[in-house]
Structure formats: C-alpha cells, structure tokens
Amino acid sequence: MKITRRACLPLAALPLLPAQPPQEANYDEARVPPYTLPDPLRFENGLPVRSPRDWPRRRAEILALFEQHVYGRMPAARPSLRFEVLEPATPAPGGGSLRKQVRVHFSAKDDGPKMDLLLYFPAGTRGKAPAFLGLNFLGNHAVHKDPAILLNPNFQRDQQARGRPLDRPLESFRGAEASRWAVDKITAAGFALATAYYGDITPDRRDAFHEGVHALFWRGGQKEPAADEWGAIGSWAWGLSRALDYLETEPAIDARRVAVMGHSRLGKTALWAAATDTRFALAVSNNSGCMGAALSRRRFGETVASISRAFPWWFCRNFLNYANREDGLPVDQHQLIALAAPRPVYVASAQEDLWADPRGEFLGALHASPVWRLFGKTGLPSREMPPVHQPVSAEIGYHIRAGKHDVTDYDWEQFLAFASRHFGVK
C-alpha cells in the first residue's frame, strides 16, 4: 500500500461529480487502496512549515478547510451565558466525591436552549482539581445510579421524536451508562468529572436544528445552516466550550487542566472541540472512527459515503459532496488530530470495532506526529500498531483493547494514567 504526503490541492482543482451510491463496507486490509495524505506541515502554496513559529499560520489553513468542507463554521458571536446552580456541592453516595449540578442557559430566556452539567469532585482534596469533560448519550441520570441526579426529560423527548418512545419510566434509565463513566475511578485518581447530555445542545436528528442552539444564530428567516455552517458535531463541540466557560468560574476545578473526552460520534466531537478551542489542555478520542481519528482515504469500515448518507446533519452540507470521493477532500483525519498540537492527545480503539477502523485510528495518530516533532516532541512513539492491551504513548497516546465499540474501565485506566502524567497529578 502506497502512502505518501503532499500539499492539499486547491478547491478549484477538485471536480465535484454527481453523487454515487455507497459501496459495500470493506474489512479486508488487502483491499485498502493506495492513497496520498495531505501534509500537515506544508502550506497550501506548497512551501514547507519549517519552525514552530510557522505552525499557527498552517494550523489556521487546516482549520479553515475542516470548517468549509467537514464540520462547518461555528458562529463568531457568543450568547450571553447564565449559570444557575441547581444543587451546590453535596456529598455523593460512597463518600469519595462531591456532586454538583449546574444549568447553563445559552440565552436570556428561561425557556431558551440550555444544558444541565453534572459535576463530581474528589472529596477531601486541597486546591483545584483537573477535570475530564465529556458529553453523554442518555442524559446525566444515566451516568451514575446516584438517585439525586436530576432526570433529563429531553432524552425522553428525543426518543419520542425519533419514533422510539420509551416503553419504561425515565427513572429506569438511571445508571444505564454508568459502566462508561467510571466516576469512582476518576475521582479516586484526583480528577473531577463534568458531563452533559448532548441532546440538550442539539437533538441528534435530521430535523432538529430549530430545537437547539442553531436557532439562536439564525439570520433573516433562516431555517437551516448554510452549506458551510456548523452541523450537529459543530454544535456539540461549541457546547463543550460553553461548559468550559462555566468550569473557568468553578472554584473547585483547574480550568487550565481540562481534558475533553468523547466516545464514538462524541469522540469526533471531542477532537473538533480541541481543534476549535485551544483552552482544552488535552483531548481523548475513544472509538471515534470515520471523521474522527481514522483516516478517511483508507475506505475501511465506515466511509464518507456511508456516514454522510446515515447522518448528514452531523456535518456541514458541503461535506456531502465527498461521498465516494475521499481523495477529493482537501483534508484527512490525521490533520484533525494535529490541530491539537502541541497539546497531548489520546486515541483509543477496540479490536472488534472494525466499523471504526482501529488501524486507521492508529495511523491517524501516527501521521499527526510530525507536527509534535516540529515542536521537539515525540508525538506517537511507535510506528507499528501495538498489540492488544499494550498502550504506547508520549505526547500522543494509543491503545487497542479487546472487545467492542464501548468505553470500559480499561480505557479509563489508560486515559487517567495519560492525563495524570501530562497534568502532573500524583
């Protein structure tokens, strides 16, 4: 398989042909086509990036390409945020942590878009704690069996709108995602955890832009994002930044040491959040796959065609032009990872999660490494994909574990060790 690097072609040189039907998913390495990766260290005019002083200008070029062709532009204006404490810091069950619940209002209207933040802090520690921040899929009540976590009716609303009304009480979902969040491990390691339901920001549906934060920025009767404006992933990343706005005011958290973490579609979101907001000190991508950490040009597992057909609202509409035309995209996902440089990034895969292309996720991390080396750092310390359960890490970390598409205690053990080392937590 030939892998070379070159500068991105200008958009004018990329013909957009009529859309073609998606191809059958490929799970055979022998069928991965030869591909050429755009070089993160070469300007669009072909000149090389020679020093760290050049990186901000090249970074801005890459960021603009992802905005125009993949995730869309976020609004430049920021709404007037209001923070409402729903529950002050209170001892949580088990005695090892404190729980706090805060509502982030995105507008001056009480009935406007808002998200509820659930926070857990390590109990009995002095000073400010570093934190992990991530979005959840089922509502804050699903993160832990703690009976004091407020139920989120937006999860029930979203299931109804998807044509999948709940056949059991919302209360029965309490703790349903607890295995993915490892609250006790996180706080025992000296970290805080902050999380919010992603549907509070924008419901994960094709027809829901008018229900979330997009509508705060409509202009002149606008009813959907323009072709180069943010889709749902862009809005979820924007929401993570608004959560960080709150964490900067939280006395118990060191906002200079916040790791943004996400799984699956929210792993894509975490990488984009780190790219668009340099206040995030570290990023964790778990099983993020296509348009996350995995190289698109490999066409392995989920592809641009399949993801844009199934979830077009995640991206800007320009992205839909690249179905079955991965080589036409002026970027690939190693450049998304590189946008975090020189901050630390961790990429995690699962052995049975072929749809997310574990090798492609590893290669995304590997081919991002030259940007860290520009800064005199290592990046990913191995050129060979490691065996299962043998993590490798420097400024970029990577592991592949046994099992399926999920977040497990093993994953959190690696994330915590990586963040502890980079944040100086003992």
State the catalytic residues: 264, 405
* Beta-sheet strand order (sheet of 396-401): 82-91, 97-105, 114-122, 192-197, 129-136, 253-263, 282-286, 345-350, 396-401, 392-393
Task: Tell how many helices (H) and how many strands (E) occur in the chain.
Answer: 9, 12
Q: Are strands 345-350 and 396-401 parallel, antiparallel or unpaired?
A: parallel
Residue type, 13: A
Cβ-contact 8, 331 below 8 angstroms: yes
Positive or negative: CA dihedral 267, 397, 6, 2: negative
List Cβ neighbours of 110 (8 Å cut-off, separation of 6 or more): none
**Chain center to CA of 338:** 14
Q: Is 121 helix (H, G, I), strand (E, B) or coil?
A: strand
The Cα 248–Cα 250 span in angstroms is 6
List Cβ neighbours of 127 (8 Å cut-off, separation of 6 or more): 254
Cβ-contact 89, 231 below 8 angstroms: no
If we measure between CA atoms, which residue out of 248, 162, 247, 251 comes closest to residue 196? 247
Q: Which residues of 207-219 are buried (b: 16+ CB within 10 A; e: fewer)?
A: ebbebbbbeebee
Q: Per the structure block, which two tokens stand in for 213?
A: 């934060």
Say what the alpha-carbon torsion angle 55, 280, 74, 303 is, to the nearest 10 degrees.
80
Length of the chain: 426
DSSP character string of 19-58? P-PPPPPP--GGGPPPEEEEPTTB-TTSPBP-SGGGHHHH
Q: Are strands 282-286 and 392-393 parallel, antiparallel or unpaired?
A: unpaired
Residue tagged 């592809």 (tokens): 303
